[in-house]
Amino acid sequence: MPVFREVLAHAAAQPHRIAVRCGDTTRTYAQLARDAERARPDVKPGALVPLPDGDPVAQLIAMLGADAAGAVPLACDPSWRTEHRRALLGPLPAAVDDPAAHDLAWAGFTSGSTGRPRVVVRSRSSWTGSFPATDRLTGVTGDDTVLVPGALSWSLTAFGAAHALAAGATVLLTGDWSAPALARALPDADVVHLVPHRLSTVLDAAPGRLRTAVVGGAALPATLRDRAAAAAIGVVAYYGATELSFVAVDPDGSGLRPFDEVEIELRAGEVWVRSPWLAHGYLGDGGPLRRDGDGWATVGDLAHSAEPLVLRGRGDGAILTGGATVVPEDVEAVLASVAGVAGVVVVGLPHPELGQVVAAVVSGDGVRRAELEAAARTGLTPSQRPRRWLAVDELPRTSTGKPARALVATLPTRPLR
């Protein structure tokens, strides 16, 4: 975490200001600074420091303590079983072996819709340098309470907490994305960091004094922005990736434009980015991040246009059917607009002649196949239209609220009628 010095400054200027709250647990800035100093590990700069499980406040304190030591904190999702954690981490090094290790501040996990997160490390400057632009977009000040739901192992959550502490605000943690946790915390929040799936939950609840929702991790349906506007809640939507950080932002519904100091170009439809905010890379096994010799990087996301940036999804999730390439997110965007659809995941199912066929797995009360087929005929090409229609009670999601595509195949399904 790159904010220990900022926490010290706030502790000196406003010692009694609440820095973090989670349920009945609170810490003032003075207490947070003291606890983080006590939690400082006796390790060399660049050492990898696993963080304690359980209480999110204890995790945040340990992250700040590791930052104070110049170490690289690694937070695991508390919901992971021991066996699952071992499989994800594998044999990680005791330290990040790199000449710039003194500037590496954080190790966390991609939220990957495949269900296989990867460990990503980044520098302090790749976070703190983007704070001023984030201030302007979100309007967060030291007078605010910022709700940051979810595990601190995910970049969206960790960045939201780090930015709020740097601003001198109160961070409101929940430790998970559940609807009950959001509902309990929401009345005290001025700003919230969310994925689109949970923005709907917020709008269904009483949002209290909430004025701004910062939404990332997946495409934001226009209907959700309209609902938020009707509730007098501004929405700052952004596109990025754990490896790329901020790429493009849409604060007003006019479309995604490059974030500060970010360059975007399309190469055969693939999004390439050059900016100061790129992550350092992976620990352990590699992932989709690729670089060229001129400072550009990509994780394989596809787009129709660069400005405004109109995304099509991740290329490695494409469905090959009868010689055509279908991007699942293209199909999902059309089907999600049908009334009553709570969630939809499009996957490829094996077919002896076509290779794969497009299948739609849908959740939502009262959704009828005929209505989905009508939307598909209107909005999709013949190769994109699902050949199989399946219903589930609820779609599995990752810890950040994205559909967990790899887990959909394990669910009991029934034909959608």
SS (H, E, C) 59-99: HHHHHHHHHHCCCEEECCCCCCCHHHHHHHHCCCCCECCCC
- 252 and 121 in a single domain? The answer is yes
pLDDT tens-digit map of 368-390: 999 999 999 999 988 899 999 99
- 332 and 294 in a single domain? The answer is no
Which two structure tokens, joined as six digits, stand for 196?
Answer: 């689109």
pLDDT tens-digit map of 177-201: 788 889 899 999 999 999 887 888 8
At 364, phi and psi to the nearest 5? 140, 140
- 229 and 359 in a single domain? The answer is no
- 135 and 231 in a single domain? The answer is yes
At 192, phi and psi to the nearest 5? -135, 140
- 330 and 255 in a single domain? The answer is no
Comparing 105-109, 141-145, 171-175, the range with the smallest average pLDDT is: 105-109
pLDDT at 1 over 70: no
User: H/E/C letters for each residue in 141-166?
Assistant: CCCCEEEECCCCCEHHHHHHHHHHHH
Domain that holds residue 185: 4-311
**Domain stop point among 285, 311, 337:** 311
- 93 and 139 in a single domain? The answer is yes
- 276 and 367 in a single domain? The answer is no
- 306 and 327 in a single domain? The answer is no
- 284 and 339 in a single domain? The answer is no
pLDDT at 115 over 60: no
Q: Give 316 or 229, the one with higher predicted confidence.
A: 229
11 alpha-carbon distance from chain centroid: 29
Enumerate the H helices of 301-388 as residue ranges.
328-335, 369-379
- 305 and 375 in a single domain? The answer is no
pLDDT number for residue 327? 83
DSSP string, 179-200: HHHHHHHGGG-SEEEE-HHHHH
- 23 and 48 in a single domain? The answer is yes
pLDDT at 88 over 80: no
320 beta partners:
325
pLDDT number for residue 161? 96
Q: What CATH code is carried by the domain that includes residue 213?
A: 3.40.50.12780
pLDDT number for residue 271? 96
pTM for the full model? 0.80
- 332 and 301 in a single domain? The answer is no
pLDDT at 96 over 80: no
Average pLDDT value for residue range 258-280: 96
pLDDT at 399 over 70: no
pLDDT at 314 over 90: no
